[in-house]
Amino acid sequence: MTNQTAPQGPDEPEGDAEQIPTPATVPDQGVEKAKRPSPRPDVFYTPVSNGMDYLVSVFKSLTEGATPPSARDLKYTVLHLQAATEVLLKARLAREHFSLIFVDPLQATHEAWQKGDFKSCGTLEAFDRLCNIGGLPLKGEDRKRIKELSDHRNALQHYGLKHNAHAIESRAARVLDFLITFIHKHLIPGLGPAEAAGVERNMDSLRLKLKGIETLVRQRMNDLRSELTKVADVTVKCPDCEQWAMVADGRDEGPACLFCHQVWTEAPESAAANYAWIILGLDDHSTIQDGGDPPVAECPDCEVCALVTEAVTAAGRPGATPLCFSCGTVFKNLTDCDGGCGTVLDIAPDGESIPMCSNCIDTRYARF
């Protein structure tokens, strides 16, 4: 007798199964795993239908409740989106070889796999193994979004939900877009004809719903267009919702996103650091290690450490524009202090004078 259900392995994110709620409904049973004939079901059986269930639940939370979605809907959006991502990536990874699902493939045994009694690798590890071992051409930006989703899910479990509805909707749409393409390109081709047809049927309705969510996001951006055009020179991509709607115009309450309403209340320094890290992928440690300047410096105008020297603004993209997230100044003539102290100066080059900060001038002349 063959065991049809055991060998799918644990599909709970990062090994803490009890915290994962099951999808609110068990949708479309067109995916009939039990009927698929396979000579080696333990290796080729994939829990694709399980991942699809989570996806259907994500769309349900995002599209069928209140507008914008309630806090509870958003919570399940994040939890189930993370679960769907993990299950679907691992379903594909198991097709390469079951041992790759183990946190340490060298410790994998067929028996543990069959019992589902092992610690499985994380979602990002699954993503990396699919690229590095499976040779799938997955994109770095999708990896970044999946990482943010995992971080977000963990923060939600431990600290409750802080992000607002529009930010979650906008970010979820991008992950959903990735997953729908992933299922189509990398999962369906390996399924048996009956299961493939069932999944395809589900996919058609999911694609339609994703279009609906994307349309909502686009409409919201369109409504903001005239307002955003006026401040394009101080508008950057928001680290929370990834829309071009974060305005750093020196307003008192701190930089704010017009799309998702995130406000960095009186904290332009952390807005700048967040932006540099999440959007530009730059942090102090690695840029200095590479011999570069830190991505956020002290502003020559307001003296707050919120000057992003390589910000990309809506008006200046794709080029970089130095923008202070505190006073909202866009600098045209930034120069490093010639004394090598790392201070950034706002001095127009005149071909004669050497740009130097007052500290360095004092030190240099004190020597003589």
Round to whole Å and give the CA distance between 334 and 353.
15
Tell me if 257 contacts Zn ion by CB under 5 A: yes
Nearer to Zn ion, 117 or 151 (CB): 151
Q: How far is the CB of 290 from Zn ion (least distance, A)?
A: 22
Neighbours of 29 (CB within 10 A): 10
Evaluate the CA torsion angle 177, 247, 321, 273 in order and state its sign: negative
* Site track for Zn ion across 320-339, x = CB under 5 A: ----x-xx---------x-x
Size of the site for Zn ion (CB under 5 A): 19
Q: Which residue from 291, 278, 330 is spatially nearest to 307, judged by alpha carbons?
A: 330
Tokens found for residue 32:
């009939």
Per the document, the length of the chain is 368
- Asked if 345 and 334 touch (Cβ cutoff 8 Å), the reply is yes
Q: How far is the CB of 268 from Zn ion (least distance, A)?
A: 8
When binding is defined by CB under 5 A, the residue of 299, 311, 312, 323 that contacts Zn ion is 299
Q: Is 10 exposed, middle or buried (0-12, 13-18, 19+ CB in 10 A)?
A: middle
- Asked if 68 and 165 touch (Cβ cutoff 8 Å), the reply is yes
Nearer to Zn ion, 84 or 165 (CB): 165
Tell me if 259 contacts Zn ion by CB under 5 A: yes
Nearer to Zn ion, 138 or 173 (CB): 173
Judged by CB under 5 A, the chain residues 137 through 196 that form the site for Zn ion are: none
Q: How far is the CB of 105 from Zn ion (least distance, A)?
A: 39
Judged by CB under 5 A, the chain residues 270 through 289 that form the site for Zn ion are: none
Round to whole Å and give the CA distance between 275 and 293.
16
When binding is defined by CB under 5 A, the residue of 341, 362, 363, 364 that contacts Zn ion is 341
Could you tell me which stretch among 67-75, 148-156, 283-291, 360-368 binds Zn ion (CB under 5 A)?
A: 360-368
Tell me if 260 contacts Zn ion by CB under 5 A: yes
When binding is defined by CB under 5 A, the residue of 238, 272, 296, 312 that contacts Zn ion is 238
Contacts of 158 (CB under 8 A, 6+ apart): none
Nearer to Zn ion, 20 or 299 (CB): 299
Tell me if 357 contacts Zn ion by CB under 5 A: yes
Tokens found for residue 275:
């932006």
Q: How far is the CB of 232 from Zn ion (least distance, A)?
A: 16
Evaluate the CA torsion angle 358, 359, 361, 365 in order and state its sign: positive
Contact positions vs Zn ion (CB under 5 A): 238, 240-241, 257, 259-260, 262, 299, 301-302, 324, 326-327, 337, 339, 341, 343, 357, 360
